[in-house]
Amino acid sequence: MTTVADPPPPGTGEPPLLDVRDLKVHFPIRRGVLVDRTVGHVHAVDGVDLRIVRGETYGLVGESGCGKSTFGRAVLQLTPVTSGEIRFGGIDLRSLRGEALRRQRRHMQMVFQDPLGSLDPRQSVEQMFREGMSAHGLAKGNISGRLDELLDSVGLPRTALRKYPHEFSGGQRQRIGIARALSVEPQLIVADEPVSALDVSVQAQVINLLQDVQATYGLTYLIIAHDLAVIRHVSDRIGVMYLGGMVEEAPTAELFAEPLHPYTRALLSAVPQPDPRYEDSREQILLSGDLPSPADPPPGCRFSTRCPWKQPTRCDTERPPLRTVEVPGTTAAHQVACHWAEGIRDGAIRPTRSTSVDAALPAGAATSSTSASGTPPSTGGS
C-alpha cells in the first residue's frame, strides 16, 4: 500500500474534490477451455493514493502499461475496482449503486483518446448531446440555446449539430467529445490521452481548448498522457506511475527541476530542459531491462529490477511507501516512493550501475531502444 502524508495537495487546505486512497484494480487471468479457472491477477493499479483539489489540473504520466488508463477508468467506476476508496466531493462512490451512482457520475466525465471510436457513428451531434443531457434530466424544454452555446464553447459552427462523426476531422471530433462531456455540466474531467491520436498540428489547439473551457466552467482535470511535453504544459501537479504504483508526485515546476525518484529521473532525462541550470549537466539515464509483468511484480520496490541506484537487500524486500521528501530551497515537498530519496537528492548515494551518461547528447535524442521511456520526450504509451 502507498500512503500520502496528510494533509493532501498544496494550496488552500480545502478538502480535495477527488480523494482516492489505496486503490487497487487487479484483473483476473483466466485459463481453461472446459473449466474456466483464475490462474493469477494483473496488478494494473496496486495501491494508489491521489487527491485533486477543485480547479486543479493533475497530470498522470508513466510508460505504457503502468496502469494510468485503468486508474482513470476506475475513478469513474468504468472498470471494476478490487479495493480502496474513491471519494468525490466527500461522497464515497464505491458505496453508491444504481440511480445514486448515475447522479454522481454526471459530475465526472471522460474525454477519450480516440474521438471516432468514442462517438456513436449513427448519431448526429445533436442526438448525441440530447441523449446525454436527457439521461441526466438536463434536456427539459427548449435547449437549442444551450446546444449552440456548447458548440460555441468548443469553437465549432452551429451547423455541426446536424452532422455525423465521420463528417469531421480528428481535431473537430475531439472538440465534439469535449462538448459532449461539457453538456452534462461536469466538475471533473478525466482526459485519457486527449491529443495523442491527433495530428501534431492540431494537438496544441485541443490543449488550448481544454484550458479555455477549464477557465470558463471552473473544471478540475485529471489528464493522463505519456507525452511529457503535454503534461508539463497543462498540469499544476504531476504524478508518475510505474508498474501499478505511484512513485513520485510534485508540483510541475518542482518535479522537472529536481526529480527525486530514480524512475522520474530516468524519464525526465530524455526531455529537453529549458532551464539552463540543467541543460549542460543533463545526464541521459539509460535503464536496463524491460518493464516487469504486472502479473508478477518484483516483491520489494517495483523499480528495483531496473534501478541504477538500487541498494542491496532492502530494495529487493521492502516496498517503499510514498512519503514526503523536502527539497532544500523550495517550498513544495515531493511525495516519493524510494527508500533512498534523500541520499540520491544529496548525491550521497551514487548509481550502483552505470547510467551511461552522455551529456553531449542533444535534447531528446536518446535512442528508443535504450532510453528510460522508449520514445522521448514521451513515456512511450499508446
The residues that touch ligand ATP, with contacts defined as CB under 6 A, are 27, 42, 44, 62, 64-70, 226, 294, 381-382
Query: What 3-state class would DSSP assign to 10?
Result: coil
Q: Which is nearer to ligand ATP, 23 or 44 (CB)?
A: 44
Asked if 57 contacts 235 with a C-beta cutoff of 8 angstroms, the reply is yes
The cell for 254 is 518542482
Contacting residues for 375 by C-beta, under 8 A, at least 6 apart: 368
Instruction: Give, in degrees to the nearest 5, the angle at Cα 91 between 89 and 94.
Output: 130
Q: Which is nearer to ligand ATP, 248 or 258 (CB)?
A: 248
Q: Which is nearer to ligand ATP, 324 or 368 (CB)?
A: 368
The phi-psi region of residue 342 (left if phi > 0; otherwise alpha if psi is between -120 and 50; otherwise beta) is alpha
196 alpha-carbon distance from chain centroid: 13
Could you tell me the smallest distance in angstroms from the CB atom of residue 5 to ligand ATP?
Answer: 25
Could you tell me the smallest distance in angstroms from the CB atom of residue 38 to ligand ATP?
Answer: 12
Could you tell me the smallest distance in angstroms from the CB atom of residue 79 to ligand ATP?
Answer: 7
Determine if the peptide bond prior to 7 is cis (ω within 30°). Answer: yes
Q: Which is nearer to ligand ATP, 156 or 198 (CB)?
A: 198
Q: Which is nearer to ligand ATP, 251 or 297 (CB)?
A: 297
Name beta bridge partners: 51: 19
List of long-range contacts for 277-280, beta carbons under 8 Å, 24+ apart: 279/363, 280/359
Q: Which is nearer to ligand ATP, 263 or 309 (CB)?
A: 263
Could you tell me the smallest distance in angstroms from the CB atom of residue 239 to ligand ATP?
Answer: 12
Cβ burial, residue 162 (10 Å; 0-12/13-18/19+): exposed
Q: Which is nearer to ligand ATP, 324 or 382 (CB)?
A: 382
Could you tell me the smallest distance in angstroms from the CB atom of residue 64 to ligand ATP?
Answer: 3
Q: Which is nearer to ligand ATP, 65 or 194 (CB)?
A: 65
Q: Which is nearer to ligand ATP, 40 or 351 (CB)?
A: 40
Could you tell me the smallest distance in angstroms from the CB atom of residue 230 to ligand ATP?
Answer: 13
Could you tell me the smallest distance in angstroms from the CB atom of residue 29 to ligand ATP?
Answer: 7
Could you tell me the smallest distance in angstroms from the CB atom of residue 380 to ligand ATP?
Answer: 8
Determine if the peptide bond prior to 377 is cis (ω within 30°). Answer: yes
Q: How far apart, in Å, are the Cα atoms of 11 and each of 7, 61, 231?
A: 11, 22, 20
DSSP-assigned letters across all residues of 21-45 = EEEEEEEEEEE-SSS-EEEEEEEEE
Q: Which is nearer to ligand ATP, 75 or 325 (CB)?
A: 75
Residue of minimal Cβ distance to ligand ATP: 381
Could you tell me the smallest distance in angstroms from the CB atom of residue 291 to ligand ATP?
Answer: 9
Could you tell me the smallest distance in angstroms from the CB atom of residue 12 to ligand ATP?
Answer: 30
Q: How far apart are CA 112 and CA 80, in angstroms?
A: 18
The cell for 161 is 449539430
List of long-range contacts for 370-375, beta carbons under 8 Å, 24+ apart: 370/286, 371/270, 371/284, 371/286, 371/287, 372/263, 372/266, 372/267, 372/269, 372/270, 372/285, 372/286, 372/287, 373/63, 373/226, 373/228, 373/266, 373/267, 373/270, 374/63, 374/64
Q: How far apart are CA 27 and CA 363, in angstroms?
A: 38
